[in-house]
Amino acid sequence: MATHFLGDTVVLTGRTMRHVTRSLDTIITTAITPIVMMLLFAYVFGGAIDTGPVSYVTYMLPGILLITIASGIAYTALRLMMDMQGGLFERFQSMPIARSSVLWAHVLTSLAANVISLVVVVGVALLMGFRSGAGLPAWLGVAGILVLFTLALTWLAVIAGLTAKSVDGGSAFSYPLVFLPFISSAFVPTDTMPGPVRAFAEHQPVTSIVNTIRDLLTRQPVGTEIWTALAWCAGILVVAYIFAGIAYRRRIS
C-alpha cells in the first residue's frame, strides 16, 4: 500500500511539476514581489531603522523569505482549484490510484517551487550585501524551519483550493499571510511599536519564526524561541492537514 502511494505520488508530482516548468513566470512572479520589497526597505527605509551591528538587509531577510513563501502558496491553491474545476479529480477516481497522492503531488510541487524562489531571493540579498557567518548546522536549521513553514502554509492553500468558488477566492486567502510579517519583528524591532500592536506582534507566529532564523544566520543564541517557532509551524501543519483531508473527502464524495 505504501509503495502504491509513493509511486502514484511520484507520477502525479511529475505532472504538476511539468505544469510549473512550462510557466516559469509563476516562480518569477513569486520572487519579484519580495525582491521589490527588499529593495524598497533596504534603500528607502533601511537607513532610518537602527539594527545595531547587523546590516538591515541581513536583519529583514528572514521576513522577506516568509513573504516569498506566502506569495508562492497562492499558486498552489490556484492549480488545485483549476484541477478541481476541470474535472481532473473525477477522472482520477476512476483510476486505481491512491486518493491522497493527488493532494501530496500539489504539496510537493509547491515545496519545490518555493525552494527555487527562496534561492533566487537569497541570491539577490547576497548582491545587496547580505552576509552570514553561520555554519552548516545553522543553515540546515534555517532550511528545516523554512521547509516546515512552507508545508504548513501549503496545506492551508490546499484547503483554499478545495473550497474556493472562484479563481480570485482561491488565491485571496494568501493576502493576510503576506502582510502578517509587517506586524512582527521582521522589519522593525517590536519594542518600537505601540502597546496593543506590540502585544500582537510579539505573540503571533511570524515573530518567533523570524527571530529564530535571524539568530541562526547571525550566530546568536536562539534560546527557547526556536521551540515556539517549531510549535507554531507544526501546529499549523497538523491542523491544516486534518482540515484539508476533511475538505477533500467532502469534495470527492
- pTM of the model as a whole: 0.89
CA angle 168, 200, 169 (to 5 degrees): 5
Q: Please say if the pLDDT value at position 19 is more than 70.
A: no
Is the sign of the CA dihedral 155, 57, 143, 12 positive or negative?
Answer: positive
Q: Which residues contact residue 188 at a Cβ distance below 8 angstroms, ignoring those fewer than 6 apart?
A: 49
Q: Quote the pLDDT of residue 98.
A: 62
Taking a C-beta distance cutoff of 8 angstroms, is the pair 63, 130 a contact? no
Residues spanned by the domain of 16: 2-252
Lowest mean pLDDT among 72-76, 147-151, 228-232: 72-76
The span from the CA of 187 to the CA of 190, in Å, is: 9
Q: Please say if the pLDDT value at position 25 is more than 50.
A: yes
Query: How does the average pLDDT of the chain come out, rounded?
Result: 83
Q: Quote the pLDDT of residue 1.
A: 47
Average pLDDT over residues 220-233: 92
Taking a C-beta distance cutoff of 8 angstroms, is the pair 56, 46 a contact? yes
HSE-CB of 245 using CA atoms within 13 angstroms:
7
Q: Please say if the pLDDT value at position 27 is more than 80.
A: no
Lowest mean pLDDT among 93-107, 131-145, 232-246: 93-107
**Residue located via cell numbers 552570514:** 132
- What number of other Cβ atoms are within 10 A of residue 42's Cβ? 21
What is the number of structural domains in the chain? 1
b/e code 68-80 from CB counts within 10 Å (16+ = b): bbbbbbbbbbbbb
User: What one-letter code names the amino acid at 32?
Assistant: I
Cell of 92: 482520477
DSSP run (H or E) holding 68: helix 56-85
